[in-house]
Structure 1
Amino acid sequence: MPPRLRLPTSNISQSLRRQRVYQHEILIPIRCASSATASAVTPAASVDQMTRSTNQIARYPASQPPSHRNPEYRRSQLLRQYTSLIRTSPLMVLFQHNNLQSVEWTAIRRELSTAMQKVDQEHAAQGRTLPPLAPHIKLQIIQTSIFEAAIRIVEYFKPNKQAADGSFTHDLSREAHDAVRHMKGKHELSTLLAGPLAVLSFPHVSPEHLKAALSILAPKATGFPAPSRKVNPGWHELTVQDGLQKLMLLAARVDGKVFDVDETKWVGTIEGGIDGLRAQLVYALQSMGAGITSALEGHGKSLYFTLESRRSQLEEEQKGGEGKSES
């Protein structure tokens, strides 16, 4: 072992003592001067200021109101995301997926995006002024339990503003939680919100986009013709076909109403989209009005003819009675 070096402890202790004393002598005048300056500059508080009640400090920041669910948790963020998705998507289609791989999801989303872009191009070629919907149509996996809570909040909790008692009524508040807690499992979609699910959301109710999407995702269940290999060879790739076999169409939500598979297919068969549906409605109302008018006219004419025949019959009887009296 190397020899230990012995240092004189007396010299070290003396130097440390000198340094402490020196620092103490310097700090004392500085503190005294600062306190004197503060007392000279800052005036004493008046009696009114001392007795006046100070403003109450806000308990919560304006950007983060109190919440029943911690907003920092991922589940809370998903709940807010799902409530926003449900409110802004009047058309949603539910699919069940079974162990789809990431490459299969990527391939399916690619084909779906291509089909939606083709529909937008067709609308532009027809001269429609509708904005393109392809960038806003998304297929995403959801957490079923959180989505079920979100749809209950959207359906059964209708807040307008902060309550009069100072309570908050946002989606993560205790008021929202207490208002929909007793409705758990009572929504129409509650029986379907179990297991691995995916949601296809549309920002508008567009039958053309729905038909194109179902022809890509579920052509066998809906009966819509799938794209041919010549028109769309990418749809016939093995990765896409393997992924589509693991997808199953369950139902749809259209303007707050739950549609089964057949009703969802009917929405996709509306020709001309919403404009075509409005034209059909106007035609039905016009035909109904024409039918009612013709029916009323027919009844009026038949009544008129009946009365006229009866009047002529009475006149003939009256004339016959007068002839007999003269004779």
Structure 2
Amino acid sequence: MPPRLQLSSTHIPRPVRTQKRLTGQQNVVIYNTRYASTETAATASSAVVPPPSLEQVKRNPAPIARTSSVQPPSHRRPEARRSQLLRQYTSLVQWTAIRRELTQALRKVDEQQTSEGRSTTPLAPHVKLQIIQTSIFEVALRIVDYFRPESVTGKIAAEEDILLHDLSSTVHNAVRHMKGKHELTTVLSGPLAVLTLPSVSPEHLKAALSILAPKATGFSAPPRKANPGYHELTVQDGLQKLMLVAARVDGRVFDIEGTKWVGSIESGIDGLRAQLVHALQAIGASVTSTLEGAGKSLYLTMESRRSVLEEEQNGGEKKEES
């Protein structure tokens, strides 16, 4: 049996990456599995690099930063498909819990309106909260708001575009010049979710904002005792990912302050109509009092002038008789 050779760890060659800089020459890095050397285009000489010491071999390499400073560390690679699916499924559970709490809050508004004897249509079954693709949504907004069939009458050349459907080239070309000019274009960036109501209802809007964005709007969130499900960790983690951007009410875009004002209208649209009627009545009463005051002033002036003339006339007649 041949004798065993005891090799020191300092004699084991390791692939080493080296780099040599020469003035006016291009650096060339060469990798070798047994030896490490540097070579340039001007010289063919090679130099053996001293092997690393035992301490250098045992020393752990510095950790490589795989995530950016704004991204929390993860045991999975964030860019991997499995990681993205994990985030998607987590958000799916949170999104379901948020929709549940939103539906409950809107149903309470419908029940309150019914108990007050108001003949309003329940809106809770028709309110939707969904994630949109911003670029396609912007095109849809342009088609709905800017396209009018009478604007292209007589310009239809293709037979398949006679119906003027949403995907027809005629409709697409008719609104192309309005790209980027819609009033909501400035907020259509990044991942967005849209809450849609079939009709304007400040009470339903307030109830929705008290669930989705109570801190931003100042509306009171449901207390834990009355609605413990709202304070579950699943719901709260999902709400932390949401941020109120803007609202579009009756064709007008409102910022956060404007959205708060719409939601704070007492008694909803009926209350707003009552305030409008009261304001019109107050204006009518003010106009009536002003006109009556002017008429009374004119009447008093004419009566005063008539009395003065009568006195002057009576005084003249007495002088003639005397």
Q: TM-score range by the shorter chain?
A: 0.5 to 0.7
State the secondary structure of the residue aligned to 1:249. coil
Letter of the structure 1 residue corresponding to residue 175 of structure 2:
V
Do residues 151 (structure 1) and 165 (structure 2) align? no
Letter of the structure 2 residue corresponding to residue 304 of structure 1:
Y
Q: Is the 8 A contact 1:159 1:170 kept in 2?
A: no
Q: Write the distance in 1 (CA, Å) between the matches of 2:313 and 2:217.
A: 74
Do residues 187 (structure 1) and 182 (structure 2) align? yes
Q: Write the distance in 2 (CA, Å) between the matches of 1:192 and 1:162.
A: 30
Deviations 1:270-315 (A, max 9, x none): 2222222222222222222222112111111111111211222233
Q: Write the distance in 2 (CA, Å) between the matches of 1:234 and 1:277.
A: 33
Q: Is the 8 A contact 2:152 2:174 kept in 1?
A: no
Kindly state the Cα deviation for residue 161 of structure 1 after the two structures are TM-superposed.
11
Do residues 170 (structure 1) and 156 (structure 2) align? no
Among the aligned pairs, what percent are the same residue? Answer: 70
Choose which of 266, 269, 294 in structure 2 pairs with 1:271.
266
Q: Write the distance in 1 (CA, Å) between the matches of 2:220 and 2:312.
A: 74
Letter of the structure 2 residue corresponding to residue 104 of structure 1:
Q
Q: Write the distance in 2 (CA, Å) between the matches of 1:285 and 1:128.
A: 23
Kindly state the Cα deviation for residue 172 of structure 1 after the two structures are TM-superposed.
1.3
- Structure 1: runs of 5+ lacking an equivalent: 1-97
TM-score, normalised via structure 2 length: 0.65
Do residues 244 (structure 1) and 258 (structure 2) align? no
- Structure 2: runs of 5+ lacking an equivalent: 1-86
2:312 is matched with which residue? Answer: 317
Q: Write the distance in 1 (CA, Å) between the matches of 2:242 and 2:286.
A: 47
1:224 is matched with which residue? Answer: 219
Kindly state the Cα deviation for residue 121 of structure 1 after the two structures are TM-superposed.
1.9
Q: Write the distance in 2 (CA, Å) between the matches of 1:152 and 1:161.
A: 14
1:261 is matched with which residue? Answer: 256
State the secondary structure of the residue aligned to 1:199. strand
Choose which of 285, 288, 298 in structure 1 pairs with 2:283.
288
Kindly state the Cα deviation for residue 104 of structure 1 after the two structures are TM-superposed.
2.0
Do residues 212 (structure 1) and 207 (structure 2) align? yes
State the secondary structure of the residue aligned to 1:140. strand
Q: Write the distance in 2 (CA, Å) between the matches of 1:124 and 1:319.
A: 76
TM-score, normalised via structure 1 length: 0.64
Q: Write the distance in 2 (CA, Å) between the matches of 1:161 and 1:306.
A: 63
Q: Indicate the RMSD between aligned Cα atoms, in angstroms.
A: 2.4
Looking at secondary structure, tell me which structure has more helix per residue: 1
Aligned residues: 230
State the secondary structure of the residue aligned to 1:248. coil
Q: Write the distance in 1 (CA, Å) between the matches of 2:208 and 2:167.
A: 33
1:138 is matched with which residue? Answer: 128
2:11 is matched with which residue? Answer: none
Kindly state the Cα deviation for residue 322 of structure 1 after the two structures are TM-superposed.
4.4
Letter of the structure 1 residue corresponding to residue 118 of structure 2:
R
